[in-house]
Amino acid sequence: MGQDIAVSCACGSFRAVIRDASEQTGNHAVCYCVDCRAFARHLGQEARILDPSGGTDLYQTLPWQVEILEGRDQLAVLQLAGRGLYRWYARCCDTPICNTMRTPKLSFAGFSTANLDASSDVLGPILLHYKADQATGPVPENRGSMMRLMYRTIRNTLRSRLNGKWRQTPFFDAATGRCIAEPRVLSDEERAVAYAG
Ligand SMILES: [Zn+2]
Ligand SMILES: [Zn+2]
């Protein structure tokens, strides 16, 4: 049995819970990619989200484990570019919440651990320091295994597809496949600012 992890935006208007989080269904990783950094920067949240090397500490889980308790109407979706991931944030205080794929059929939700009330033994060890070549500072020598993380992510996504649990998602209307908030793509100007520096 896993543990429940509380999720909250900075102001507390948006609250959710990740149910039964465990080693089986969760992956803990740090992403140093410029896109994750641009997302934090666009929302003015570098201080809350980014580590000193420009990394975003993430906990990947499955949408069917996520239950929104309060502030569903505060959720908004950004895309850095037209075909990018859905990057969810709470518009009450511009807190980056999680990333999902653009379809509910691929069960995946990567939460910023900055918003999670969970000890490191619930999140598990960091399995991967991803895109370390894009870091802005030192990255641990042992970067982990991309293969291992990919395997675990694909396994969990496939399993959810086969057992039908992908339909239980707070982020999409499973019947229509539509996102619960209208995704907005950054303008060229916004993108230039978000990726600068
Ligand atoms: Zn808020
Ligand atoms: Zn990233």
Q: What CATH number has the domain bearing residue 180?
A: 2.170.150.70
By three-state DSSP, how is residue 90 classified?
A: strand
| Cα 93 to Cα 7, 45, 48, 76, distances in angstroms | 14, 10, 12, 11
Q: Distance, CA 99 to ligand 2 centroid (Å)?
A: 10
User: What is the per-residue pLDDT for 197?
Assistant: 67
Tell me the HSE value of 121 on the side-chain side, using a 13 A CA sphere: 0
Q: Distance, CA 4 to ligand 1 centroid (Å)?
A: 21
Q: What is the mean pLDDT of each run of 10 residues along the chain (197 residues)?
A: 94 97 89 98 97 97 97 98 95 98 95 94 94 96 92 94 95 93 96 92
Query: Number of structural domains, the chain?
Result: 1
Residue 114 maps to a domain: yes
pTM for the model stands at 0.95
Domain of 114 in residue numbering reads as 3-192
User: What is the per-residue pLDDT for 25?
Assistant: 82
Q: Distance, CA 140 to ligand 1 centroid (Å)?
A: 32
Helix (H) or strand (E) holding 61: strand 56-61
Residue 197 maps to a domain: no
User: What is the per-residue pLDDT for 179?
Assistant: 95
Residue 74 maps to a domain: yes
Spatial separation of the C-alpha atoms in residues 99 and 79, rounded to whole Å: 10
Spatial separation of the C-alpha atoms in residues 73 and 104, rounded to whole Å: 19
Q: Distance, CA 110 to ligand 2 centroid (Å)?
A: 10
Q: How many Å separate Cα 22 from the centre of its chain?
A: 17
